[in-house]
Amino acid sequence: MAESSRIYTAALIVIGDEILSGRTHDKNIAQVASWLGIQGIRMSEVRVVPDVTEAIVEAVNTLRARNDYLFTTGGIGPTHDDITVDAVAEALGVGVVVHPDARAILEGYYETRGGLNEARLRMARVPDGAVLIPNRYTGAPGIRFGNIFLMAGVPQITAGMLDALSGTLEGGHQLLSETVGCWVQESEVADLLRETEKAHASCQIGSYPFWREGKSGANFVIRSVDAEDLAACIRALIRGLEEMDRPSFPGGIEPSGS
């Protein structure tokens, strides 16, 4: 297999009791997944773990071993419940040091905001050997250690860090994706979906049903790295739906409220 056609994968660890309690609705899974897709990297798995060192260490060591990249969100702030840096350093078997550039960034940021106290200085601590990921919003940087990326939990700040990383990671072919919607029960077209997928080797078809205004519908998402095969697969699916007198909607139907 040519180097350019290999698949690059990444895993994400969402760190935080606030997600596991249901209090906060996670927004980083979808955000990181979408960003990775654009970089030509596939999100292979996600784990949400509590603010507990052993849980973070286990997830880091399992997931970094079997993915090209590992991302974390959450737990890099100034308070006692922010333990990501220490847990990741433990997983990597390295110490924790104050990064001089991070310290300088924080000194500048807090110069007009009450000065750098001990809690704020916690945000300059990194696993020994790490480099920084810029944070355009609140000073405190993200952290990169090899192919591991520690990012903020607040989605807006995470977005800024992802933006700073855009185009810097090696990826493969972008996974292309097109959606076809149809007012049909997916159970009526299960055979069509399976056979259409089978006839287009590079394609995967996902079927996502919904209900709206008392009617059953489904969006069929076709994914492939091969643009030609993807287009052929979509044509075959639309033709198959037409033969069943089911008009299809390229781009999909918005399943409002679901």
DSSP 8-class letter at 225 = S
Contact present, 101 and 139 (Cβ < 8 Å): no
Q: Which of residues 144-203 bind a second copy (CB under 8 A)?
A: 154-156, 175, 177, 185-188, 190-191, 193-194, 197
Strand order in the sheet with 215-224: 204-212, 215-224, 176-182, 248-250
Q: Please identify which residue in the block is written with the tokens 């997916």.
A: 186
User: Considering the rule CB under 8 A, would residue 98 count as an interface residue with a second copy?
Assistant: no
User: Considering the rule CB under 8 A, would residue 134 count as an interface residue with a second copy?
Assistant: no
User: Shortest distance, CB of residue 6 to a second copy, whole angstroms?
Assistant: 17
Grouping H, G, I as helix, E, B as strand and the rest as coil, residue 228 is helix
User: Considering the rule CB under 8 A, would residue 24 count as an interface residue with a second copy?
Assistant: yes
DSSP 8-class letter at 181 = E
Q: Which listed residue (64, 99, 120, 125) binds a second copy by CB under 8 A?
A: 120
- Our CB check for a second copy shows the closer of 2 and 65 to be 65
- Our CB check for a second copy shows the closer of 16 and 145 to be 16
- Our CB check for a second copy shows the closer of 131 and 221 to be 221
User: Considering the rule CB under 8 A, would residue 122 count as an interface residue with a second copy?
Assistant: yes
- Our CB check for a second copy shows the closer of 18 and 229 to be 18
Q: Which of residues 232-251 bind a second copy (CB under 8 A)?
A: none
- Our CB check for a second copy shows the closer of 29 and 164 to be 29
Q: What are residue 15's DSSP bridge partners? A: 49
Report d(CA 153, CA 73) in Å as an integer: 5
- Work out whether strand 125-127 and strand 96-98 pair parallel, antiparallel, or are unpaired: antiparallel
